[in-house]
A and B are shown apart, each in its own frame.
Chain A
Amino acid sequence: MYRFPAQILIVLCFAVLNLFGVEIYAGDVVKKVTTDKITMEMGIFNFGELISKDEIAPYDITIFPNGENLPVGRGSVKQGQQLYAAQCAMCHGESGIEGPAARLAGSDGWFEFNDPLRILRIDKYPILLISVGGLWPYATSIFDYIRRAMPHYAPKSLTNNESYALTAHILYLNDIIDDETVLDKSSLLMVSMPAKERSFIAP
């Protein structure tokens, strides 16, 4: 006669299951609830804290190929030559091809006319098979990397002007700009890298 307590028991069972996050009784459907669903649909894991523009600014250093985020500043090939000799040549070589650090100038690959010793260099430092001037599709990337990572022993120590100047010098080593060029956020965007034509994004 007394069916009422049985119903209460069922409700209690679901309540207990619910407490353990196993199942939720929703109308006539028993729905399995995963952490994934809770997070995605209910958004209950809001442990992140809002961050202000000012807090982000010191870290917001990515330069995009369209020039987005390029800072104010300017530097010439000639200024770059001096900086290069003082801070870069010991790793990249006097003309950017000797290594041991990454090759900055000339074509990618095994040989090129102006470097008959290339195969010997590559045997010693295989990484010299690739070249910034030969493979990089955008000059903005050169500025970005110099500013964030160079020189290796003191990364992020260069001013924006110095990073523009060194970018200019590397482009000059590649015969991409002439020795009178001064680079800033607008002239850098005018630079066309030979590798851009050869590039495509993997399917």
Chain B
Amino acid sequence: MKANSLIQAARGGLLNRRAFLLSGLSLSSAISLPALAGGKVGMDKLADNLPDWMKMPGGSDIEYGLPTKYEQHIKRELAPSTPETSLFSIWHSPIQNQRGVITPSGLHFSVNHNGLPDIDPSKHQLIIHGLVDKPLKFDMESLLRYPIVSNIHFLECAGNTAPNAVSLTALDQNAQELFGQISGSEWSGIPLKYLLMEAGVKPSAKWVIAEGADGGSHSRSIPLDKLLDDAIIALYQNGERIRPSQGYPMRLFVPGWEGNANVKWLHRLEVTDKPAFTKDESGLYSDILADGRIERFSFHMDVKSVITHPSGQQVLPEKKGFYEISGLAWSGYGKIKQVEVSADAGKTWAKAHIAHPVLSKSLTRFTIPWQWNGSSTTLLSRATDEHGRVQPTRNAWRDKYASYSFNHYNAVQAWHISNDGRVENTYV
């Protein structure tokens, strides 16, 4: 089409936003309304030509709303090789079925190293002790009296997208399997600095050991500076008290840092001058570099993006059809500045539209109109954050780490589109 060739943003059919608006216009003008049956208003009962749900009173609502039965297939999925309960279970969020930047609380990803504890909030306390002037305990009642701040942030497991980090061939997996350990929520809670200042942190303090009240007493050593900066004791997620799989009655929330450090079921903060090298910071959440050295306490989740629409294992319904590419970008260092998309395997790139507001350490939605020319191609997305951090290529990422190191993988993701419209995970 002539109009499209004039407003091409990059090769492979990527269009600028104006094209999308134009296309929308032409689409709406093309839609023909069904002819009114007979056109004889007043002759027939309205009910004769309408669906059942328009001809009867509706059902009753319920106290706590649930998704419709027609959407019940949209669920979290358990990562293979992890058991449903106990041991080490990893639940992936269906990001390919979501829009916007807020993950419904029930679909938020969850990694549980020791199952979900059933904590009675009336018997739960938060303790702050160690290098403080006044060791303190807080029950739920007293915690709920503190000022509450709310911020929208992403949370990502350090191991998100691990298969692409270590698998020699690109596994045919969908976005949920490959990227499902990312979610976004509004988290509300008490700035931790309030509580630490109240306890009076001693000058020699440098670290805080945060511990959960779960069976395994999950614990992580967190630098004090982060806790005095933007960390909160999260009590609410998306407006309601946080759910058991997110740490009810409270979790530590350290914006932009790997999920494992956001200690769930938090009950103890031990202020110290050194890290403890707990189980997870000794092994699983370390990064092994290509030269064999082991990087400890690499907390930040680096800049990353993924196209969710279309994504792995989906099938484009129409050859040469018009599509809006949509995806998520985020950075544990700050705001997303731009996302570039390529529809020709990285030869040419176009800037995607970024949906506002763009928030720090938060999921950011990007979109770009795309006219698929019907032949096989590869879609890529590449995010840059406000500090100029850019996603590396997969090869550049792998050059840095040992071949079996799988945490903090943030390389550019590639989705291959076959002639028949099938979308598949690939490496470029």
Stretch at the interface among A11-19, A72-80, A165-173, A193-201: A193-201
B268 — which chain A residues lie within 8 A by C-beta?
A: 59
Please, how many angstroms separate the alpha-carbon atoms of A60 and B216 in the complex?
A: 14
Quick one: which of A35, A91, A141 contacts B277, CB cutoff 8 A?
A: A141
Interface size class of B (residues with CB under 8 A): 35 or more
Please, how many angstroms separate the alpha-carbon atoms of A102 and B88 in the complex?
A: 10
Stretch at the interface among A2-10, A22-30, A43-51, A81-89: A43-51
Please, how many angstroms separate the alpha-carbon atoms of A141 and B230 in the complex?
A: 29
Please, how many angstroms separate the alpha-carbon atoms of A145 and B146 in the complex?
A: 34
A155 — which chain B residues lie within 8 A by C-beta?
A: 114, 215-217
Question: What's the A-B contact tally at a CB cutoff of 8 Å?
Answer: 172
Quick one: which of B88, B142, B219, B288 contacts A48, CB cutoff 8 A?
A: B142
Quick one: which of A47, A138, A195 contacts B294, CB cutoff 8 A?
A: A195
Q: Mark B180-191, 1 if CB is under 8 A from A, else 0.
A: 000000000001
Do B87 and A101 have beta carbons less than 8 Å apart?
yes
Please, how many angstroms separate the alpha-carbon atoms of A45 and B146 in the complex?
A: 7
For B87, B138, B211, B292, which residue has the most chain A Cβ atoms within 10 angstroms? B87
Please, how many angstroms separate the alpha-carbon atoms of A40 and B197 in the complex?
A: 7
A199 — which chain B residues lie within 8 A by C-beta?
A: 286, 293-294, 296
Closest to A129 in B: B404
Do B282 and A141 have beta carbons less than 8 Å apart?
yes
In angstroms, how far is the closest chain B Cβ from the Cβ of A118?
11
Q: List 7 A-B contacts (CB under 8 A).
A: A51-B127, A101-B87, A101-B88, A108-B404, A131-B283, A137-B277, A199-B293
Q: Known pairs A50-B136, A127-B88, A152-B87; list 15 more (Cβ under 8 Å).
A: A47-B146, A48-B136, A48-B198, A56-B129, A62-B278, A64-B272, A132-B282, A137-B296, A138-B282, A145-B278, A148-B217, A152-B86, A199-B293, A200-B295, A202-B296
Interface residue ranges, B against A (CB under 8 Å): 81, 86-88, 114, 127-129, 134-139, 142-143, 145-147, 162, 166, 191, 193-195, 197-199, 209, 211, 215-217, 219, 267-268, 270, 272, 274, 276-279, 282-284, 286-288, 292-299, 402-404, 406
Interface residue ranges, A against B (CB under 8 Å): 35-36, 39-40, 43, 45-53, 55-56, 59-66, 91, 100-102, 108-110, 124-127, 129-132, 135-138, 140-141, 144-145, 148-149, 152-153, 155-156, 195, 198-202
